[in-house]
Amino acid sequence: MASSSGQRLLRYDRRLGVRFVAGADEAGRGSLAGPLVVAGVLFDYASLHGHRTRPLALLNDSKQVDPEIRETLLRAVLQAAAHVSVRVIPACDIDRNGLHRSNLSGLRDVLTDLAPRAEVSLVDGFRLGPLAPPHSAVVDGDTRSAAIAAASIVAKVTRDRIMRRLDALHPRYGFSRHVGYITPFHSAAVREHGPCEQHRLSYAAKCYAAEGLEPAA
């Protein structure tokens, strides 16, 4: 019988041969509006077995999981993890500090938050510099490591929930439909109404082309 995606990801982490494995990932890097959400998840592999792993059978990169299953997996991750940390970086901070710097800072912060300190910390694709806890960058890590995939789920579900709340505050932009990413509808709404305070004005988006465009109330 073929193993599930979750079993494959858990095996990757177990082969590291340590008890505490942390993973970190983010959601919303390419979004035109809304925050960047960064999550860190710590698994204790001394206690993560049997009935505690079964709910993680469908664990995978959040982009490969349907929204309903992501919600179920979030509950499974929160029950299975030894510790979870989430940082929400608003659009104004991204504009002030830059996307890449904001992302690296958030990833450093969530790994630092996790306790007890992981013996191995894994990050999806990025080296975080000397200020971060010791870590390894894993290319396509959210499809290889259970800890990174779990962080991906936490970040994605958290951000989608935030964007649905922002849709109620700024209904003209359809945030619940596209969660802040560039779509024809989103671009047309920005051209018609101007950007709101949730838009990342530092991005070179075509829908910002009009000179003197200011955030709408």
Instruction: Convert the pLDDT of each residue in 195-208 to its tens digit.
Output: 999 999 999 899 99
Question: How much is the pTM?
Answer: 0.93
Residue 49 neighbours by CB distance under 10 Å: 11
Average pLDDT estimate for 81-86: 98
- The sign of the dihedral angle between the CA atoms of 178, 182, 184, 190 is positive
Amino acid at 98: G
- For residue range 128-167, list pLDDT tens digits in order: 999 899 999 999 999 999 999 999 999 999 999 999 999 9
At 52 the pLDDT is: 83
* Strand partners of residue 138: 124
CA gap 167, 205 in Å, rounded: 20
CA gap 180, 167 in Å, rounded: 10
CA gap 98, 121 in Å, rounded: 24
- For residue range 159-201, list pLDDT tens digits in order: 999 999 999 999 999 999 999 999 999 999 999 999 999 999 9
- Which residue reads 């619940």 in tokens? 176
| Cα Rg of the chain, angstroms | 18
Cα 45 from chain centroid? 22
* pLDDT category of residue 212 using cuts at 50, 70 and 90: low
Choose the weakest-confidence range: 51-60, 83-92, 172-181.
51-60
At 211 the pLDDT is: 43
* Strand partners of residue 21: 43, 120
